[in-house]
Amino acid sequence: MSQDHKTEQALVLVKPDAVLRRQIGVNILKAIKKVPGAAVVAFKETMVSEDLVKRHFAEHEGRSYFSGLMAMMAVPVGVLVLVVEGNGVVGALRDLIGPTFVEQAKHVRGCLRGKYGIAKGVNAIHTSQTLDAARREVDLWVQSLKLTIDKATATGAMDAYIARWDGRLPDNTRSIQREAEDVLEAIEDLKAVLKTETTEDDETTRELIRAMLHAMMG
């Protein structure tokens, strides 16, 4: 039997941009429950420490988007942490969740990031991309959060979460995606105007815009 068809474990994180939008978090959990041959064996709703996020995303440290990624994961609504087990589950979840960037994911029929992501890397959900990454991520999160690997316990906790939020609030993803597109377009227009007034490079201008947005949001 090939490695792809052996029992595997994968980490799934439902990110704050999906947890905040209550029905979206529920919809994602429902979709994961339907993955053939897969079982959720750990589930936890939790806040995540800066140290754990840095360790998880260590390969991205130093990239221009890293500070934004850290800020997103620190939003105080928290994350949903799942360990999913099954034959070939790493690939199955990767296909279900789809490409990293929402604009690409929208072109992949049925994938969760296309359906529920907002824009760019604000994509609602993370899953392990390879078997090696899955082993590392599952080990990191299970040890850091002291997760119990038990299907019955996990299923009960996840079903309770779904019951708490299902049907209480709407799914307005399409409207949110359109608003996000307008925001991104406005940012590009702002950058173009600022560049007419400066000799600084694009990255410096982007840093100013990030600081402006942060200041204006309070």
Coil, strand or helix at 147 = coil
Comparing CA positions, the residue from 24, 40, 22, 47 lying closest to residue 158 is 40
| Predicted local confidence at residue 162, as pLDDT | 99
Residue 182 phi/psi, 5-degree rounding, is -65, -40
Give one word for 78, left, alpha or beta, with left for phi > 0 and alpha for psi -120 to 50.
Answer: left
Mean pLDDT estimate for the chain = 94
Q: Any catalytic annotation for residue 214? A: no
CATH-assigned architecture of domain 3-165: 2-Layer Sandwich (3.30)
pTM of the model: 0.93
**40-64 pLDDT, tens per residue?**
999 999 999 999 999 998 888 888 7
Burial of 13 by CB count in 10 Å (0-12 exposed, 13-18 middle, 19+ buried)? buried
Percent of the chain with pLDDT over 90: 87
Which pLDDT band, with edges at 50, 70 and 90, does 206 fall under?
very high
Measured from the Cβ of residue 84, the count of other Cβ atoms closer than 10 Å reads 27
Catalytic residue among 5, 56, 126, 214: 126
CA–chain centroid gap for 195, Å, is 33
| Predicted local confidence at residue 78, as pLDDT | 97
Ordered alpha helix ranges (H), 20-150 = 22-33, 50-56, 66-73, 89-97, 102-105, 112-116, 131-145
**160-189 pLDDT, tens per residue?**
999 999 999 999 999 999 999 999 999 999
CA–chain centroid gap for 157, Å, is 20
Across the range 196-207, mean pLDDT stands at 95
